[in-house]
A and B are shown apart, each in its own frame.
Chain A
Amino acid sequence: AQSVSQHNHHVILSEAASLELGCNYSYGGTVNLFWYVQYPGQHLQLLLKYFSGDPLVKGIKGFEAEFIKSKFSFNLRKPSVQWSDTAEYFCAVDTGTASKLTFGTGTRLQVTL
């Protein structure tokens, strides 16, 4: 069975700082990779996803992630965070079409002014 690890549970950054959130997965086969964001009081929203092709994927709101197959990693990055990026970020994987998502434990990002 697949599993997902997110190493940072709580990250505090000042506005304009750069962000990198780690995500590693464990699965022997092909996976699809996702980052979801949950703003306070709101539902999970997709930030970006990787299925195949260019391992550097760009998502909404200036976020990007790089799939490094050899490291089983899919880290999320943003060059300059904003206060409005304060949220919980979840990395997730699935193993095929319409299959279940397996989530990491989430990283709470707090951006200070």
Chain B
Amino acid sequence: EPEVTQTPSHQVTQMGQEVILRCVPISNHLYFYWYRQILGQKVEFLVSFYNNEISEKSEIFDDQFSVERPDGSNFTLKIRSTKLEDSAMYFCASWAPRDLNEQFFGPGTRLTVL
């Protein structure tokens, strides 16, 4: 069964460093998403991406964040200068019309900022 994959599973970084979280969505899916979940809190939407551009973003998704689909398979989330409060689980999701509005989620990347 096709699935969304994410790497790395756990990333530890120093405050101020740049991190890139990687996702491989399900092949032929058209919409891509990033969500995050700070420990003990709810899953929050960050950004959606369609046709090589951002279609919607939340207030969390400020200038420190960017997304990119550098090739036909990867979908990345970059945080330019990490802050302590960026520590969270980051989930990638993808969607295609044939899947009747179900977003398929990856296993997540746990980001720890020290």
Contact = CB atoms under 8 A, between A and B. Distances in A.
Given A98-B48, A101-B35, A43 B43 contact: no
A104 B44 CA distance: 9
A51 interface: yes
Contact of A100 (B45, B91, B107): B45
Interface residues of B, number: 27
Interface residues of A, number: 23
Contact of B42 (A42, A43, A106): A106
A60 B33 CA distance: 24
A103 interface: yes
B95 A43 contact: no
9 contacts: A36-B105, A43-B106, A43-B107, A43-B108, A44-B91, A94-B101, A98-B50, A98-B97, A101-B43
Interface of B: 4, 30-31, 33, 35, 41-45, 48, 50, 55-56, 58, 91, 93, 95, 97, 100-103, 105-108
Interface of A: 32, 34, 36, 42-46, 49, 51, 90, 92, 94, 97-106
